[in-house]
Chain A
Amino acid sequence: EAQVTQNPRYLITVTGKKLTVTCSQNMNHEYMSWYRQDPGLGLRQIYYSMNVEVTDKGDVPEGYKVSRKEKRNFPLILESPSPNQTSLYFCASSSGTGPTYEQYFGPGTRLTVT
C-alpha cells in the first residue's frame, strides 16, 4: 500500500529534551515536506526537500532541523523543544517538485512539550 508513515503518533516531552519524528514514504517521491497544524492557523510548512541532500526552509523553520540522506526518509529534529512547538505535525510527499503536484500526507504526530 502506498503510504506516508510517521512515528511516533503521540509524544509528550519536556522542554529542552532533543527529539526526532521520523517520516518515511514508499512511493519513490522526490518531494517531501513537514507541516505543523495549529487551531485557527491552518497548515504551515516548516521545511521541504526536493531530493536527497536538498532541503530548504518553509514558512516557519525556526527551532527545527531536517535531513534527507535517503529518498524515502525525511526526519524532523527538534534539538531543544519549547512549549510553543506543541502542535500537530504532518509529513507529506509528492511525486514531483513543481507547483502542480498534489501532496500525500502522513497520519500526523501530536507533540506536547511541557
Chain B
Amino acid sequence: AQSVAQPEDQVNVAEGNPLTVKCTYSVSGNPYLFWYVQYPNRGLQFLLKYITGDNLVKGSYGFEAEFNKSQTSFHLKKPSALVSDSALYFCAVKQRGSYIPTFGRGTSLIVHP
C-alpha cells in the first residue's frame, strides 16, 4: 500500500524568507513523488516530480524539492517566498505498478507581505 502525509495544515512565512512544505511517504519499493499547487478556484498544476537520479529536483516558479530516502521525505522548498506563492500545495506518491496516485491532504501556504 502507498500513503503520503503532509503534517502541516498551514504554513505561514514572510515574503522574502525561505519556505518549506513537508511531505513524507510510504510505499513498497521505489517511490515516484509529485508536488502540485492549487490556486483559489483553479485546478491543480504540476510543479515537479522525482522519478530517479539526483535527489534535488527543480521545478516551476523557482520551487525545488529534496528526496530523502532514509527519512522517506520529499519536502518542497523555495529560497525566497513571494506573496503570489500563497496557495494550497499537494504532495502525491505512486509506487511501481500503480495507476492510482495517493494525494496528501494538502498544506495551505500563506506568504505575508
CB contact between B51 and one of A56, A100, A103 (< 8 Å): that residue: A100
- A44's partner among B42, B49, B103 (CB-CB below 8 A) is B103
List, in ascending order, chain A residues with CB within 8 A of B49's CB: 100, 102
Residues of B close to A58: CB separation below 8 A: 100
Nearest CB of chain A from residue B44's CB, rounded to whole Å? 4
> In the complex, which of the residues B43, B46, B95 contacts A107, with contact meaning CB atoms closer than 8 Å?
B43
Kindly list chain A residues whose C-beta atoms are within 8 Å of the C-beta of B41: 107-108
B96 and A99 contact, CB distance less than 8 A: yes
With a 10 A CB-CB cut-off, give which of A40, A59, A100 has the most chain B CB atoms: A100
- Bound state CA distance, A58 and B101, in angstroms? 9
Nearest CB in chain B: distance from A10 CB, A: 11
Contact with B along A70-110 (1 / 0, CB 8 A): 00000000000000000000101000010110111111100
Which of A41, A56, A107, A108 is close to B99, meaning CB atoms less than 8 Å apart?
A56
**Given the complex, which residues of A lie within 8 Å of B98, measured CB to CB?**
99
Give the residue among B46, B100, B101 with the most A Cβ atoms within 10 A: B101
- Indicate if the CB atoms of B42 and A108 lie closer than 8 Å: yes
Q: A43–B36 Cα gap in the complex (Å)?
A: 11
Q: Does B80 contact A (CB under 8 A)?
A: no
Chain B's nearest CB lies how many Å from the CB of A32? 11
A90 B44 Cβ-Cβ under 8 A: yes
Interface residues of chain B, those whose CB is within 8 Å of chain A, are 32, 34, 36, 41-46, 49, 51, 90, 92, 94-101, 103-106
The 8 closest A-B pairs by CB, nearest first: A105-B43, A99-B94, A43-B103, A42-B105, A102-B46, A105-B44, A42-B103, A99-B32
**Could you jot down 10 A-B contacts, CB within 8 Å?**
A31-B99, A42-B103, A45-B100, A50-B99, A90-B43, A100-B49, A103-B101, A104-B46, A108-B41, A108-B43
